[in-house]
Amino acid sequence: MMQMRKLGTSGLEVSAIGLGCMGMSHGYGPAKDEAEMIALLRAAVDLGITFFDTAEIYGPFANEILVGRGLAPVRDRVVIATKFGFEIGADGKQTGNLNSQPAHVREVAEASLKRMGIDTIDLFYQHRVDPAVPIEEVAGAVRDLIAQGKVRYFGLSEAGPSTIRRAHAVQPVAALQSEYSLWWREPETKVFPVLEELGIGFVPFSPLGRGFLTGAITATAKFDSSDFRSTLPRFSPESVQANQLLVERIRQIAGEHRATPAQVALAWIFAQRPWIVPIPGTTKLERLQENMDATALELSKADLAAIDAALAEVEVHGARYADRAERMIDR
């Protein structure tokens, strides 16, 4: 039986683990076979996952279409999150520019609803904070969409404490989605106290370090040119080699529990706060099952202390993003 978790005090309840869908059609090499991914989406629902994450720029557009088709027969059983905030050119390609103008937010909502074939977006995130648009205006645009019944809940992604507070004052924020894992813990000190105070849930993306924390990536790994890890400093051969020590520490703890490194990495996240719901992505059924089984792995206080001690010994090498993407993070 899948555990359920509440995202803060918003009233939004989802499976304790969600499914990040981006990699099915974007970001990690060529898009996967549509029929296979639809089967995976439906298998996830059968296994108890109720929380699915997509965005208009994943493709662009292809991932929302895929998720809509895959979840159509089970729409009443799932929570679908998507995102706005980037500009997409007339040619259907990402421009890399931000756009959270209220009119654009409304346009994206209408287009996303149509692409996914749904009447309401369950959770609508601002993908990245747009410094050109006051967050109050963005929150107001989503508040209007909620009043119209086109959106249920409002979320932010990679937003800092001040932005979260200002947005929440206009339209309550149900969830913050940001990167968080054993090798990226910045949210703990900067945003966790604000989330706890305001009753906002936390949805970590890349909880497995974009695959690194599974132990499957070595310094000899080759990434396809359409795999965005090929552009990330943290995935340079030098950084991957230097960061192997972290994986070895996790592997040792996993061995003690007859678990996999991925399961330990996810169990560690579950143990941090009861209002955290990670969304690891996968395109393989066996990995989906492995990730789900992590919800049953309970780490003791001694385990958590051992992990903290191990992390204190390890200096993670390499920036998590290239400069331009890093500048889009709101701190």
State the average pLDDT over residues 52-58.
Answer: 98
Q: What is the pLDDT of residues 239-285, one digit of tens each?
A: 999 999 999 999 999 999 999 999 999 999 999 999 999 999 999 99
Backbone phi and psi for residue 47, each to the nearest 5 degrees, phi listed first: -85, -10
CB proximity list for 31: less than 8 A, separation 6 or greater? 24, 25, 59, 62
What confidence tier does 16 reach under pLDDT thresholds 50, 70, 90? very high
Characterise 21 by phi-psi region: left (phi > 0), alpha (psi -120 to 50), beta (else).
alpha
Active site residues: 58
Q: Residue 287 pLDDT > 90, yes or no?
A: yes
The percentage of residues in the chain with a pLDDT greater than 90, rounded to a whole number, is 97
What's residue 310's pLDDT?
87
Segment 145-154 shows an average pLDDT of 98
**3-class SS at 203?**
strand
Report in angstroms the alpha-carbon separations of 209 from 63, 69, 98, 268.
21, 28, 25, 13
33 pLDDT higher than 90: yes
pLDDT digit string, tens, across residues 204-247: 999 999 999 999 999 899 999 999 999 999 999 999 999 999 99
Domain range for 174 is 4-327
What is the H or E stretch that residue 141 is in? helix 135-147
pLDDT of residue 1: 85
| Type and span of the H or E element at 263 | helix 261-270
Q: Contact at 8 Å (CB) between 156 and 162?
A: no
- Arithmetic mean of pLDDT, 10-38: 97
Tell me the whole-structure pTM to 2 decimals: 0.98
Q: Are strands 79-84 and 121-126 parallel, antiparallel or unpaired?
A: parallel
Please state the domain count of the chain: 1
Backbone angles phi, psi at 196, to 5 degrees: -65, -45
**Which helix (H) or strand (E) element contains residue 305?**
helix 301-313
Domain CATH for 261: 3.20.20.100
Q: pLDDT for 66-125, tens place per residue? A: 999 999 999 999 999 999 999 999 999 999 999 999 999 999 999 999 999 999 999 999
